[in-house]
Amino acid sequence: MILSGQEIIKEVKNKNIIIEPFEQKNINPNSYNYKLGNQYKIVSIDETLDYKNRSIDENNPLSYISEKGLLIEPGKIYLATTYEIIGSHKFVTLLIGRSSVGRLGLFLEISADLGNLGTAHKWTLEITSVQPVIIYPYMKIGQVSFWIPEGDIINYQGNYTNFNIPQNCFFESLF
Amino acid sequence: MILTGQEIIKQVHLGRIKINPFNMDQINPNSYNFRLGNKIKYYVNSVLDTKVKQKVEEVEIDSHGYTLYPGKIYLGHTLENMGSDHYVPIVKGRSSTARLGLFIHVTADIIDVGSYNQWTLQLYAVQPIKIYSEMLIGQVTFWTIYGDIKLYNGKYQGSQGPCESLIYKDFIEDLK
């Protein structure tokens, strides 16, 4: 079951859902609009991403998204984050874009919208575009929904939970 | 929880799910197949600035079909007006069109509870593909909600035909 917007507000007050900072005006009927953080990385300038042979530049620089805007060019993968720290130990988090953004052909996640139970941090967004799109820091770029799970819960123990900056792929998790 | 096809039929008859026009042949085990409407919009600019209102051009799909090319985002729409005040609709592609590399939504498949309109489809092709109006292009699923409901009353409510992005309005509001 998906939580209604009113239920998200309740569970934020109960601290079963973490959204920090939280603004009630960003609540939708079934989700919360999150903002874009101000840092980004570009995954790689190499054309072929070969994880087995480690062709990714693991030192790809962290940059700031200028107030004048960042051009997202097709054919590249940009890693940014949510501005807010988001998560829950009780509800499953699903992060997607907003339809206003989708209507411009901007992807915020590449087929992996599912969060893990128990983890709360700034989420890495995998941004790609169909046509070039200019985005701005702190714009309301996506929405997060919360779902009631069924069954016993063991909280996430994996690699990405400690990071609040755009985080590259951990190669080890691929094999 | 996701509604079964039989439950969708029940809820349509009770008026708790609205699908107009509704056709029983389009029910699946856990979803409903919807059709493509006959209008397509695309942006005039190739670079899309989220802060700026974007100009669009609109075309009508005729009997010869319409070709979508990679590298461009096209906005289509459902033939049906759909929505619910009780369940959350989530739009998915159909595997038949997905197998041809056609995306029908980019990143936002959740429809707000309380919205009722022809849904805008964000069409993106991996390879050039010809589409036809009234084709069965996607499916909608319905999910139960937990908690008090405050119905959608936003900028896309009641929209007919494809509706381009209104995100530039966020920046104007923020300045107020």
Query: For chain B, what are the domain ranges?
Result: 5-175
Chain B residue with minimum CA distance to A11: B147
- pLDDT of B62 > 70? The answer is yes
Query: Two tokens at B83?
Result: 């929505």
B132: which residues sit within 8 A by CB, 6+ positions away? B36, B61, B65, B66
- pLDDT of B88 > 90? The answer is yes
- Please, what is the average pLDDT of chain A? 87
CATH code at B5-175: 2.70.40.10
Asked if B122's CB is within 8 angstroms of A7's CB, the reply is no
Q: Which of B170, B15, B152 is nearest to A30 (CA)?
A: B152
pTM for this one?
0.90
Give domain limits for chain A: 5-42+62-151
Determine the average pLDDT of the residues in B46-58: 97
Q: Is A75 left (phi over 0), alpha (psi -120 to 50) or beta?
A: left
Domain A5-42+62-151 falls in which CATH fold? Answer: Deoxyuridine 5'-Triphosphate Nucleotidohydrolase; Chain A (2.70.40)
Interchain CB contacts (distance < 8 Å): A and B: 145
Q: What is the pLDDT of residue A165?
A: 78
Q: How far apart are CA A167 and CA B49, in angstroms?
A: 26
Q: What is the pLDDT of residue B168?
A: 95
pLDDT-based confidence at B106, cuts 50/70/90? confident
Asked if B46's CB is within 8 angstroms of A131's CB, the reply is yes
A31: which residues sit within 8 A by CB, 6+ positions away? A5, A8, A143, A144, A145, B110
Query: Two tokens at B21?
Result: 């026009």
* pLDDT tens string A134-151: 999 999 999 999 999 988
> For residues A61 and A87, which has the higher predicted lDDT (pLDDT)?
A87
From the CA of A71, how many Å to the nearest CA of chain B?
9
Determine the average pLDDT of the residues in A94-118: 85
* Complex ipTM value: 0.89
- pLDDT of A68 > 60? The answer is yes
